[in-house]
Amino acid sequence: MQGKGLITIVAIVLGLICLNELIPTWYASKIESQIEAANGNEREIKTLKEQTLKDKEMKLGLDLKGGINVLLEINQRDLVNDLTNFSTNPVLIEALNKTDEVQKNSTKSYIDNFFVQFDAINKAKGTNLKLADPEIFGNTNLSEIKYNTPDDQVKSIVKRRIDLSVGTAFEVIRTRIDKVGAIQPNVQRVPGTARISVEMPGMKDRDKVKKMLQTSAKLQFWEVQQAQEVVPYFQSLSTMIAAKGDSIGISKKTDLMKLLQFEKLQSNGVGNIKISDTATVNKILHSKLAQSLRPANLKYTQFLWGYKPESTSPDDLVLYAIRGNINQKAPVDGAVESAKISYDDLGRIVVDMQMDSKGAKEWKTLTEKNVGKPVAVTLDGNVYTAPNVVNAIPNGRTQISGNFSQEEAKELVDVLGAGKLPAGAKVVQDTVVGPSLGQESINAGMMSFAIAFLIIIVYIIFYYGGAGVYAVIAMVINLFYIFGIMDSGDFTLTLPGIAGMVLTMAMAVDTNVIIYERTKEELFAGKNILQAYKDGFKHALSAIIDGHLTTLLTAAVLFFFGTGPIKGFAITLGIGIIMTLFTSVALSRVMIFSRLEKGKGLSVWTAPTKNLFRNTWIDFIGKRKIAYGISVVLTIISLGSIFTNGFKYGIDFTGGRNYVIRFEKPVSAEDVESDLVKLFKTEDGKNSSVEAKTFGNDNQLKISTDYLIEDESLKADQTIEHKLYEGLKSHLPAKLTFEEFKGADKGQTGIISSEKVGATVADDIVTHGVLAVVAALAGIFIYILVRFRKWQFSLGAVAALFHDAVIILGAYSLLHRFMPFNMEINQDFIAAVLTVLGYSINDTVIIFDRIREYLREKKSVTLAGLFDDSISSTLGRTFNTTFTVLLVILAIFIFGGDNLRGFMFALLIGIGFGAYSSIFIASAIAYDFLKTGKEDEVHGKSTSDKEVLASK
């Protein structure tokens, strides 16, 4: 056989590379088992950990290992402010404010939206400002911009500088992660955005991680306004609350002066508030009514909280009044060159630091101006200390005190030492998966994987006998290659990735089915076994390549438009498709012909399956109008439900937070929902949406809410977790603490996973999802048009895919209220739809390929007969592929765990209707648009020849 030697060499080399990559994973797994067996022996555990090969083992996603995934967004308004040197030009400020509003519902970058808004406001006001104006970007921060630089050139320069700043932020964040000792972290920039994705498997403390990532490390120093300047304003507010408190969601009986607890004040703050009352004080101070009452001396004042409670008042937080200005630029805003842990004269832990040259000069000026007065040291909006200045400080050296523990001081030193972010950062999406849920996902995923694999092995050997054994060998090698390539390419294996592997196995079965069915046809035509296999491989190749390329196209669309788990699925599926072509076509061919050329036989059937579908002939074209009727009815029902019932959208599409919570005993979702909805109220007193639903076992709930979704701060996350804890107390063990509740370990009660998707990210996901589906349909239309040279085939294929998508959407709209598993429209659903499109077009391509072959060979005398002959001759392949894939999906649906059930249900519906639509929609529509009405002008067998076919 030609090329046999080359294929063998490639297979061996690829196998050795994969083996070399996978051995460290096996070894690390072995060491981890020994660590568990060490059972607390610290010296032994340390020795074993040093032996692990964590950097070389295969990366597991959060859904398999547990951990934290965070999507950070660098504040581009901060970057623009910095580049304009904090200009207060009214056109600039209005453009920035308008951009902030537009950005909430836009998928364009912040800076692109800013330029649009600036141009519009500039034109509307008739100010004729150029971007190179000194009050905009023509300042010392952008020396390459001159007074006559054209706007288009300025835009290019600004975009480049912002991109460099995001790159700087990426490097700073990566350095910080290295300092905390995360194992196998994955840090990536999201192309075309100011976002950075951070995945940290094995990490559990979300608050610590988010704080470490979001901290800008840009220390700021402010003048402090003291109580005597602020008390008159607070008294006015207290009077206002008594009269109009209801309008801002505060009881009129609220006594602000009492909440401030002036009698307990021991620092340079303006209030000493109980932690439980801080939310109420925030609501008052940030209300529009309170803003309107501010006197001139407090117009730009920022009310900031202390970093943590003072040691003398552990239940209180100090409120500070920081003297601001129109652009809220700090008098001292310098980076830290070095920081270290030290101790003050009283033996308390402090952080000593040295500022850079710019900060040192500004610090000297500020301290000279405020001798005898307090100056606040803030880090990311929290006041760490606000001591009185004794003397001017000329050298840039200063000290931060804040009632630190050793660990807190170390975290601060690590953050400062890693360098400052060029702008603030906020978490717009995060996912936390507890270790117990990760292990359960592994167990469920591997069980479904093993069962699906066993089903395929049994079925293909039962159906194809000896040839089936070679198909199984090729599949095993295929899986080995996929794991090896995933490991060597440093790709992350996720639960959807395992699903992609199982579907790859199904596709490998499809490839073998096509080859063996064509080989059977050649054997029935009277050819000897060797020639039959040669012609079987030869005639099957075109259909196999077409099917694989269309599925590869779908995988590419998923990769480029998807995020997170969808990318994992797309990567695995893409690698699997390529490896299937190599193992099931090239390598399988080498193995089979090595046997045949030695004169040994190789059966391609078993006694029960030899004549299955052999003489089957059905008048599909004659029955197409019945099928049209069925499809029209189903489509009308689906569209009717879509427009009346709508969908249950996941937080991927709407924004919000999900929490999976485990209880000791079964709980009522309705009772929990009614308990929580009372707590999740907005500032105007309205209830936010809260939904509780059983998730898997009846002692687990998935709780979703859009409460505080616009607030992307760490404090908002903590507020919601506290409300969950309070609302669920009656269902939790009496001794369960809040800390235990929010970070449930293996087998414990509490939050075992959580997910947050910000509103802006949700908009992006919706847009990318729609684009993915449209791009897939357009790509498939073009591919079919190029491959089959007739637009009628493309039209039929896309119509069938549209039909399948509508049926799946209709099923999710009709059934989401009744099914005991998650049927949300989310990223996973989009991945499922695109997977169905890939498999459906694969079915269609096989039939179209046979139609093209019969047209070329002029095998029939009527077009209808030719279509019927083509479809009937591929029934064996259609049944075997669809049946096998459905069995595999059913196995994953039953045994694969709750996270995959909604995904697999979409595939179950889609694959079934995909096989139906390939015959009754794609082929039928292609026929109706190809026919001319003059049947005698078209070559092919007529439908009356079915008796002749049956007698052969």
CB half-sphere exposure, 583, CA atoms < 13 A: 28
E strand spans, 202-313: 219-225, 271-274, 302-306
Question: Which residues, other chains included, contact 145 with Cβ-Cβ below 8 Å and sequence gap of 6+?
Answer: 131, 132, 137, 138, 154, 157
pLDDT above 90 coverage of the chain, percent: 3
632 pLDDT band (50/70/90 cuts)?
very high
CA distances from 463 to 42, 434, 513 (A): 55, 43, 10
- Contact between residue 215 and residue 379 where contact means Cβ atoms under 8 Å apart: yes
The CA distance from 835 to 941, in Å, is: 35
Pairing relationship of beta strands 425-433 and 67-74 according to DSSP bridges = antiparallel
User: Number of helices (H) and strands (E), helices first, in the chain?
Assistant: 33, 20
The CA distance from 870 to 935, in Å, is: 17
Buried b (16+ CB within 10 A) or exposed e, 106-143: bbebbbebbbbbbeebbeeeeeebbbbbeebbbbeebe
pLDDT (0 to 100) of residue 824: 78
The CA distance from 800 to 47, in Å, is: 60
Stated pTM of the model: 0.66
- Contact between residue 673 and residue 693 where contact means Cβ atoms under 8 Å apart: no
| Per-residue three-class SS string for 625-667 | HHHHHHHHHHHHHHHHHHHHCCCCECHHHHCEEEEEEECCCCC
763 pLDDT band (50/70/90 cuts)?
low
The helix/strand/coil state of 303 is: strand
Q: What is the distance in angstroms between the CA of the first residue and the CA of the last residue of the chain?
A: 33
CA distances from 596 to 11, 467, 881 (A): 20, 11, 26
Question: Which residues, other chains included, contact 442 with Cβ-Cβ below 8 Å and sequence gap of 6+?
Answer: 60, 64, 65
29-33, 167-171, 931-935: which is most confident: 167-171
**Per-residue tokens: 351:** 């952080």
Name the DSSP letter for residue 58.
Answer: P
292-301, 709-718, 832-841, 939-948: which is most confident: 292-301
Residue 636 reports pLDDT greater than 90:
yes
Burial of 553 per CB tally in 10 Å (0-12, 13-18, 19+):
buried
Which residues are paired to 425 by β-bridges? 74
Kindly report which listed range (15-29, 533-547, 595-609) carries the lowest average pLDDT score: 15-29
CA distances from 408 to 109, 216, 249, 377, 694 (A): 36, 16, 36, 16, 38
**Per-residue tokens: 770:** 């729609």
Which has more confidence, 852 or 769? 852
The CA distance from 28 to 52, in Å, is: 5
* pLDDT tens-digit map of 740-753: 777 666 567 877 77
The helix/strand/coil state of 193 is: coil
Average pLDDT over residues 808-834: 80
pLDDT (0 to 100) of residue 55: 55
Query: Please, what is the Cα angle at 867 between 862 and 873, to 5 degrees?
Result: 120
The helix/strand/coil state of 908 is: helix
Average pLDDT over residues 396-403: 72
Residue 118 reports pLDDT greater than 70:
yes
The CA distance from 480 to 342, in Å, is: 54
Q: What is the CA radius of gyration of the chain?
A: 33
Residue 86 reports pLDDT greater than 60:
yes
Residue 943 reports pLDDT greater than 50:
no
pLDDT (0 to 100) of residue 635: 92
Residue 546 reports pLDDT greater than 60:
yes
Average pLDDT, the chain: 78
pLDDT (0 to 100) of residue 375: 86
**Look-up of token digits 């340390």:** 46
- Contact between residue 763 and residue 106 where contact means Cβ atoms under 8 Å apart: yes
The helix/strand/coil state of 330 is: coil
CA distances from 749 to 302, 663, 665, 703 (A): 40, 5, 10, 15
Nearest to 861 by CA among 755, 771, 934: 934
Which has more confidence, 35 or 343? 343
pLDDT (0 to 100) of residue 846: 81
Buried b (16+ CB within 10 A) or exposed e, 315-334: ebbbbbbbbbeeeeebbbbb
2-11, 277-286, 917-926: which is most confident: 917-926
Summarize the chain as % helix, strand, coil (round to 5): 60, 15, 25
333 pLDDT band (50/70/90 cuts)?
confident
The helix/strand/coil state of 693 is: strand
pLDDT (0 to 100) of residue 694: 77
pLDDT (0 to 100) of residue 938: 39
Question: Which residues, other chains included, contact 139 with Cβ-Cβ below 8 Å and sequence gap of 6+?
Answer: 84, 85, 87
pLDDT (0 to 100) of residue 897: 63
- 384, containing H or E segment: strand 382-385
